[in-house]
Structure 1
């Protein structure tokens, strides 16, 4: 039997294992799977970590739904900009390059040192792909991104809600100023998700905690970003093709999902070009 690879991650960084497990579990599911990700299965089978703790928390559908909804926007961007650059901030062990790369786009994967060390055990760089140690809160990686051709799409998946909101707004404002015309995808948790994190769902099994909630994604327009689209789990069937059993389940649950504020929103923004550009 092959030796398992050890996992040494910080408190927030450990959360990268939730979507990994979700994609692996969905890939193994014949009836309910919304994604095909054999690389995720390989990593789950290789890592020395108790993934079974996440089995009862709905992480398979919830975390993977976030990924496939982001995928839909990334694919749309690549159709319009086939040689542009995708910047994954908080890349973790995501496999978006392996799943949807078009053969001409450029990718920059950014994450903290411990997460990036683990990522390098499974992925490698190439002429169109760089892996960089860094954080959404710093700008040391800006020049690495600028070395690749625009336009740029920044994907910040499952990251911002664990950080200090003031620092997040400052970082987004700095990125919007540095990359005018770029697009940004990031998710936000609602107050219900913040309230439920200790009582249900996969976050009960890790030490990281959501730090803040946002009910109105348009609030981030004050950071120099224009909100182009905002979706929630109730929009999943309209954004991507999903298995019939899941489609029926979500159709039945639709009226319930539509009540009150969303637990989780997925948002697309653009940093406007300077006036007169």
Structure 2
């Protein structure tokens, strides 16, 4: 069993245990939104960190992480359907098992994360010529040198990552993509709100402060990305009324800008 202390997980890398647990619990439900046998296989070799109990806050958080993963899966499937030579890279991959759920039809699939996470992945996963692991920060732009093929066949996935960067760092990433990978597709989530929210304060206590917030998708367009699709994660949760508690009685609340824009899933073209 691999423990967080042995892997020296701290700060943002530590948060991947929560999103991984969310997929494990979703897989076990009879009405699961997504099934993830690979994460179940890995979970038996991981060790939950009890100090995360106060941050893993109930069924709504678990649902939200599962729905987010499902929305990214759907975008990944649609992209493959329209790009026969598709290549994907997951930035801040954590313990993502998306490759096994929906990605094996891709020509190449790359998982990028910090060295401590990539070391952990290599203990659980198998690297091949077509499924590679890169041990570096997404802000070390040399990863762009590792991508084969035409950038117009490239899907860049950044799930649960960019909100931990400063706005200037997000802009630097976008500028580098414009310069080096024009025509690529970038799909990511972005948060509304502020660092004063309850969730942001909890993550700051965990050593993983949120740094980048937006008002709405127009902020993304202003940074130089072309919007292809925008989905509200809160509104997506409302598709599962039996699991959202109070909100099932007042679904119109999800239309209000502070809730609608609390987390947006954005598919963009560089």
Match of 1:86? 88
Match of 1:5? 2
Match of 2:30? 30
Gaps of 5+ in 2: none
Seen in structure 2, the aligned counterparts of structure 1 residues 163 and 175 have a Cα distance that, compared at 3 Å, is same
CA contact (8 A) 2:164 2:212 kept: yes
Q: Give the 4+ runs in structure 1 shifted more than 6 A.
A: 247-250
**TM-score (normalised: structure 2):** 0.86
CA contact (8 A) 1:18 1:59 kept: no
Q: Which has the higher contact order (CA 8 A, sep 6+)?
A: 1
Higher helix share: 2
How far is the alpha carbon of 1:249 from its aligned partner? 7.8
How far, CA to CA, are the matches of 2:243 and 2:204 in structure 1?
25
CA RMSD of aligned residues (A): 2.6
Match of 1:206? 206
Gaps of 5+ in 1: 272-277
CA contact (8 A) 1:83 1:149 kept: no
Match of 2:254? 257
SS in 1 for 2:256: coil
Seen in structure 2, the aligned counterparts of structure 1 residues 103 and 167 have a Cα distance that, compared at 3 Å, is closer
SS in 2 for 1:16: helix
Seen in structure 2, the aligned counterparts of structure 1 residues 263 and 223 have a Cα distance that, compared at 3 Å, is closer
Match of 2:47? 48
Q: Deviations over 1:46-86 (max 9, x none)?
A: 21223671553433111111111111111100001132101
Alignment match of 2:171 (pick from 154, 169, 174) = 169
Match of 2:158? 156
How far, CA to CA, are the matches of 1:163 and 1:133 in structure 2?
18
Q: Deviations over 1:6-39 (max 9, x none)?
A: 22213111111121011001111224x2111122
How far, CA to CA, are the matches of 2:172 and 2:11 in structure 1?
23
Aligned length: 262
Seen in structure 2, the aligned counterparts of structure 1 residues 252 and 178 have a Cα distance that, compared at 3 Å, is farther
